[in-house]
Amino acid sequence: MVEVKLNKPKSSAGVDTSGALKGSSRTEMKSGSDIDVFDITIIGAGPVGLYGMYYAGLRGAKAKVIEGLPSVGGGLAALYPEKLVYDIAGFPQVRAKEYVGMAYRQAAYYQGSYALGQKVRELNRRDDGVIELVTKRGVHYSRTVIIACGMGAFVPRRLDLTNVRELEGKGIYYSIGNFERFKDKRLLIVGGGDSAFDYVMALEPIAKEINLIHRSATFAAHEESVEKVKTSSASLHYPFWEVKEIHGTDWIEAVTAVQTQTGEEKYFEVDACLFNIGFLANLGPIKTWGLEIWRNSIKVDEFMRSNIEGVYAAGDIVTHAGKIKLITTGCGEIAIAVNHAKTYLDPTAKLNPGHSSHLKR
Ligand SMILES: Cc1cc2nc3c(=O)[nH]c(=O)nc-3n(C[C@H](O)[C@H](O)[C@H](O)COP(=O)(O)OP(=O)(O)OC[C@H]3O[C@@H](n4cnc5c(N)ncnc54)[C@H](O)[C@@H]3O)c2cc1C
């Protein structure tokens, strides 16, 4: 089993999570017979899982996180690292990748184990209460588990049109990591939600030309973003505009869009087309773990407990009566999960962790 143990950071400055958490210097091997049972194992190192690692440390738990991707950060790192996020408590605005850096640094205040690049395939609760988490590289053991897997695997919604799959990565994108490569390019952005509008705002100063098409009369994006884009140099085409045809062989060359009510067509010569028409939830193996699932989400109670004893869940993957899928609410949920896992592990422990500002460091 390959794991990375993280120590307390020496300073609070300049943590680069991608590098730090792909690091190899603190890698240790464990043989199959060297069974190490953790108190709390979190599946998924998105913003919620990272905050859970901090919280597990705060509660004195021996904690591990297992992440399918080679680095931490979940959706923020994988889908929108360059975007500014405005609604995280205490941050008037913060770039997604920078928030991940700070979340990691906070988690790394306590020593925890990070098993990166390992997708959990099976979850089995043994009769003795120990939970086995099976990955391709081996089995992890834990007394409690918190599932913070977001939407599961990220699968962008695709249009069922000729050329879409063929030109993915050749001018067709669903998310963008490096904005600079769109400098002086002609872009067509498809969608009316926050992602589409955030990309327009971020790329408008550097791209040569941006057109956005949307099929509805209203936008799901924040009103403020819509107003900003309307007064920018980007051109908005809505309502009822949809992609009809994608042109190009080795690289995208143009897109034909159609106004579905009037039949009018527009031909956009483009260097790239960015689809922001949503993601499909794909729980993958999680569906087979015996959890109660409702609409691709794990049902939890007010303690963030699933139907399997010792197994909790938090963040985008859960559903409950008041569920709202946001970073801030997910972080609150995993704090609840960790505190309840703590009293499950040790019934004499207090549920309330006390105030971190009172703790001696
Ligand atoms: C474009 C976009 C913009 C957004 N903007 C905002 C915003 O402004 N404010 C806001 O609050 N929210 C925003 N969100 C939503 C926010 O990103 C999510 O609420 C948040 O990422 C949920 O965090 P999470 O940790 O629950 O899940 P995720 O971030 O999805 O992380 C889950 C992690 O679990 C891993 N994983 C999944 N399955 C397994 C497995 N079987 N084994 C191991 N690892 C696994 C994944 O690889 C991933 O790293 C936005 C979302 C998108 C797509």
Whether 39 and 139 map to the same domain: the answer is yes
Model confidence at 24, pLDDT cuts 50, 70, 90, reads very low
Whether 144 and 257 map to the same domain: the answer is no
Domain limit, last residue, from 218, 250, 277:
277
pLDDT at res. 15: 30
- Residues 191-207: tens digit of each pLDDT: 998 889 989 999 999 99
Range 210-239 average pLDDT: 94
Model confidence at 282, pLDDT cuts 50, 70, 90, reads confident
Whether 149 and 162 map to the same domain: the answer is no
Pairing state of beta strands 131-135 and 122-125? antiparallel
Q: How far, in Å, from the CA of 46 to the mean position of ligand 1? A: 6
Whether 188 and 267 map to the same domain: the answer is yes
Number of domains in the chain: 2
Q: Tell whether ligand 1 has an atom less than 6 A from the beta carbon of residue 149.
A: yes
Q: Tell whether ligand 1 has an atom less than 6 A from the beta carbon of residue 148.
A: yes
4-43: b (≥16 Cβ within 10 Å) or e: bebeebeeeeebebbebbeeeeeeeeeeeeeeeebbbbbb
**Residue 4 in this model has a pLDDT that exceeds 60:** no
Atom of ligand 1 nearest to the CA of 66: 43
Q: Are 105 and 51 in contact (CB under 8 A)?
A: no
pLDDT at res. 223: 87
- Residues 79-101: tens digit of each pLDDT: 788 789 999 999 999 999 999 99
pTM above 0.95, yes or no: no
Whether 99 and 163 map to the same domain: the answer is no
Whether 257 and 121 map to the same domain: the answer is no
Q: How far, in Å, from the CA of 160 to the mean position of ligand 1? A: 25
Whether 132 and 91 map to the same domain: the answer is yes
Q: How many other CB atoms sit within 10 Å of the CB of residue 140?
A: 27
Range 339-354 average pLDDT: 94
Model confidence at 337, pLDDT cuts 50, 70, 90, reads very high
Whether 147 and 295 map to the same domain: the answer is yes
Whether 150 and 31 map to the same domain: the answer is yes
pLDDT above 70 coverage of the chain, percent: 89
Domain limit, last residue, from 257, 277, 297:
277
Q: Are 43 and 120 in contact (CB under 8 A)?
A: yes
Domain CATH number, residue 139: 3.50.50.60
Range of the domain at 7: 2-154+280-358
Range 6-34 average pLDDT: 36
Whether 109 and 202 map to the same domain: the answer is no
pLDDT at res. 23: 30
Domain limit, last residue, from 228, 257, 277:
277
pLDDT at res. 167: 96
